[in-house]
Each structure stands twice: as C-alpha cells, then as structure tokens.
C-alpha cells in the first residue's frame, strides 16, 4: 500500500530549508503515529548547517483535522525558534496542516 500525507492517519513532519528566499532543500524529519511525531532539533540544525541554510520552515500534519497547536507543538516551536536565534538559522514558520484548506501558521498568528 502506498503511503501519502493527505488522507493518511499518521503524523508526518518536514523541514523546508532556505537561503535567502530560495528553497535549497527539504527533509522528512519523522513519521509518527496517529496522535504525535517526534522532532530532533539536532538533526534539523545538522541538515541546515550541511546545506548552508539561513532559515527553515517546519510543517507537520494533524490527522485528526484539528488545526489548533498542541502544547507539544508550542513547546517544540519555541525551542526551535530560540535555538535558531543562537545558531543564526531563523525559524520562519511552523505550520500545522489539518486537511483541505485548513492549516495553522505560527507566524501568521503572531506566535513566533
């Protein structure tokens, strides 16, 4: 059976890496279960350093269809943002896709 993010019951997390306004890479960070997935900040920043990214965006889905960030979503976003400030690699946004046209953007909601 072929897996895909849309309509799947698993949670996926991706990073999109940029240099200036140009996308220079992306990575599937993790595939989780129905209610969560884990992000390892060391792997995110290691990849960013390897490809000389100046910024990145994190995207993950909520198979439940809820676009409200969980406490874990808020916590990891804050951790990645603060780490990025120290390391000089800016977290531009953390986006939760919940199906169809529904999503939550930390940047758009002033939560970064």
**Residue-level pLDDT at 32:** 78
Query: pTM for this structure?
Result: 0.87
Three-state SS letters, the chain: CCCCCCCCCCCEEEEEEEECCEEEEEEEEEECCCCCCCCCHHHHHHHHHHCCCCEEEEEEECCCCCCCCCHHHHHHHHHHHHHHHHHCCEEEEEEEEEECCEEEECCCCCCC
Percent of the chain with pLDDT over 90: 67
- pLDDT for the residue 5: 52
Query: 31-72, pLDDT tens digit by residue?
Result: 877 777 888 999 999 999 999 999 999 999 988 888 899 999
Per-residue pLDDT, 100: 80
């Amino acid at each position: 059976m072929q897996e895909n993010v849309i309509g799947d019951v698993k949670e996926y997390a991706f990073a999109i890496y940029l240099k200036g306004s140009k996308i220079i890479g992306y990575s599937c960070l993790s595939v989780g279960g129905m209610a969560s997935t884990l992000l390892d900040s060391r792997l995110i920043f290691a990849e960013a350093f390897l490809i000389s990214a100046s910024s990145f965006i994190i995207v993950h889905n909520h198979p439940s269809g809820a676009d409200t960030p969980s406490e874990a979503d808020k916590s990891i976003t804050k951790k990645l943002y603060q780490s990025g400030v120290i390391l000089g690699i800016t977290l531009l946004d953390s986006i939760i896709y919940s199906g169809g046209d529904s999503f939550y953007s930390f940047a758009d909601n002033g939560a970064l």
